[in-house]
Amino acid sequence: MMVSNMTDDRIDQPAMSLGKLALHMFGATMAAVFFSGAAAGLIGALGKEEQVKPIGWVIMGVFAALTLAALWFAWVSARRYYRENGPLSPRARRATISAVVAGGLGLVMGAWMSIAGDAPGQPFDVANAPLPAGVAAALIAVIVLVITPVTWFWHRNIDEHEEQSYRTGALVGLYFYSAVAPIWWLGHRGGFLPAVDGMTVYLATMAVWGVVWFRQRHL
């Protein structure tokens, strides 16, 4: 009788690529922004009631747990990349830290707008709900005094390939904006499109910019 020998040798998995790490971090950040903003908006809406029902506390807990889960996923992904690829260079580490700081500020600002900007009957209308003048001024100050220097610091520490990918994304984003803005404006004047929403155009432009940057940088 012949007995076949079976080996228990494990096939080594390829190390996590930087593109995969970037995709994980982007997805985790977007999820954290959404769930933290939803939780903050719900807290603000329920806080206006005299008594919060048990289901309200449960929903807030779920949103908070999902936010923490997204942050935990980002942390685990970063740790795996570090373990499989070794430590980052000092320059890359500084660029990564600045990107993390910018993402954290985005989370805080989104949650703040959700709480401060809730309108009756529209607890999650972060983009259009009115904001108190003081809150709006404070957010503007954060953009000018904090996010702008962080962005400059990030530019100072990225490598040539990163910078070229960023510039390519910016150029395509500019072309996209140059087409969408006048088309929407003319369509509104012609009566078959709604009024131009500047924030929607801005977010769409940033999305195009980000997609092109990711493709150039990691694919």
Q: What is the pLDDT of residue 183?
A: 96
Q: What is the pLDDT of residue 118?
A: 53
State the Cα–Cα distance between residues 183 and 164, nearest whole angstrom.
Answer: 29
**Region at 121 (left for phi over 0; alpha for psi -120 to 50; beta for the rest):** left
**Per-residue pLDDT, 123:** 46
> Which residue shows structure tokens 């009756």?
120
Cα 49 to chain centroid distance, Å, stands at 31
* pLDDT at residue 36, as a whole number: 74
Q: CB of 104 within 8 A of CB of 33?
A: no
For residues 112 and 137, the answer to whether their CB atoms sit within 8 Å is: no
* Ramachandran area for residue 158 (φ above 0: left; ψ -120 to 50: alpha; else beta): beta
CB atoms within 10 A of CB 144: 10
Is residue 74 within 8 A of residue 29, CB to CB? The reply is yes
User: How far from the centroid of its chain's Cα atoms is residue 99's Cα?
Assistant: 11
Say what the pLDDT of residue 32 is: 77
Rounded (to 5) percent helix, strand, coil in the chain: 75, 0, 25
Instruction: Output the six-digit token pair for 200.
Output: 């929607």
- Strand residues in 24-63 grouped as ranges (E): none
Q: List per-residue pLDDT tens for the chain, 219 residues long.
A: 445 554 444 555 667 666 677 777 777 777 777 777 777 766 666 666 556 667 767 877 888 888 888 888 888 887 887 777 776 677 777 877 777 787 778 777 777 776 666 554 444 455 566 778 888 898 899 889 988 898 888 888 888 888 888 899 999 999 999 999 999 999 999 999 999 888 889 989 988 998 898 888 776
Confidence (pLDDT) at 188: 94
